[in-house]
Amino acid sequence: MYVAHTSNDAVDVIDSRHDKYLHSVPGLPGVAGVLVSNEKDFVFTSNRGEKTVGVFPYGREEKLEKVRVGGFPNGLAFDPSRDALLAANVSKQDDPTPVTVSMVETKKKILTADIIVPGRTRWTVFDSKMNRFYVNVSTPPKIVAIESKDPDGIAASYDIPATGPHGLDIDTENRRLFCACDQGGLFTVDLESARVSRVSDLSGPPDVIFYNSRLHHLYVAIGDPGMIDVFDTDTMKLSQTVKTEVGAHTIAYNPEIGRVYAFLPASHRAAIYQEV
């Protein structure tokens, strides 16, 4: 498992089967996120401190290459069929420069497109059935869709009636998005009808979310007061609240072994939860 350790400008590598720290990958200024492609056995990093994305083969960090993008990259999503990596960029406060999302061709290691979006981005996901990327935009609150094959602009958008769309994931089978907003609400977007529905309140302002397609559970990390809200996505009801630690706004999910990892900055630990 790869974990972005922003304050160390590095990615930590963890053996998730034995829950053991192995080593770190240095030289990634302000690294904000990591994405692993199981289909291509590649790892991607968003290096916000230098406006680059990193690309290296799984387990071969010494082969790291970087590609400059059009902003400060944050969220990442990948289309393995086209070797297309989308980096959702953020801007500095009061920066008049338009916010963009950048498309990178990972085989050639080149920037292929830089698409202006309405505002500051958050997380992003790829829809393999529609060959689209979906990107959360914090202000104005909406989700925008960008075609993977021909990314020349915004293909569709969905207005979210709450402040700060933040965490985002997709239920591919049931054709819907899950969107957790800073205002404290959880929304779904029906990708067939474009209907947006507020389905639940959250225990606080969210950050990262992950969907467990096997158990039909959604995990929502909440840094303050420090917990994970677990939703049954068949009923969209809160089924469990798991205490973590104040400031623990980042989680990871390993679908192969059914474990959720919460990263605890105050105590410099990772808490591990096993779904059964």
CATH of the domain at 153: 2.130.10.10
For a pLDDT cut of 90, what percent of the chain falls above it?
90
What is the mean predicted confidence (pLDDT) over 185-209? 97
Q: Tell me the average pLDDT of the chain.
A: 95
- Residue 122: give the domain boundaries: 2-159
Cα distance between residue 118 and residue 72, in whole Å: 16
pLDDT at 92: 77
The verdict on residue 211 lying in a domain is no
pLDDT at 2: 94
The verdict on residue 253 lying in a domain is no
- At 254-274, the pLDDT tens digits run 888 889 999 999 998 899 998
The verdict on residue 250 lying in a domain is no
| Ordered DSSP codes for 129-172 | TTTEEEEEETTTTEEEEEESSS-SS--EEEE-SSS-EEEEEEET
Q: In this model, does residue 15 exceed pLDDT 80?
A: yes
For the chain, the domain total comes to 1
The verdict on residue 134 lying in a domain is yes
**93 vs 115, higher pLDDT:** 115
Cβ proximity of 48 and 14 under 8 Å: no
**78 vs 7, higher pLDDT:** 78
**ω into 140 cis (within 30 of 0):** yes
The verdict on residue 186 lying in a domain is no
Q: In this model, does residue 16 exceed pLDDT 90?
A: no
The verdict on residue 150 lying in a domain is yes
Please identify which residue in the block is written with the tokens 């969905």: 158
Cβ proximity of 121 and 101 under 8 Å: yes
Single-letter code of the amino acid located at 229: D
Q: In this model, does residue 76 exceed pLDDT 80?
A: yes
pLDDT at 97: 87
For a pLDDT cut of 70, what percent of the chain falls above it?
100
The verdict on residue 209 lying in a domain is no
Residue 228 binned pLDDT confidence (cut-offs 50, 70, 90): very high
- At 89-102, the pLDDT tens digits run 998 777 788 999 99
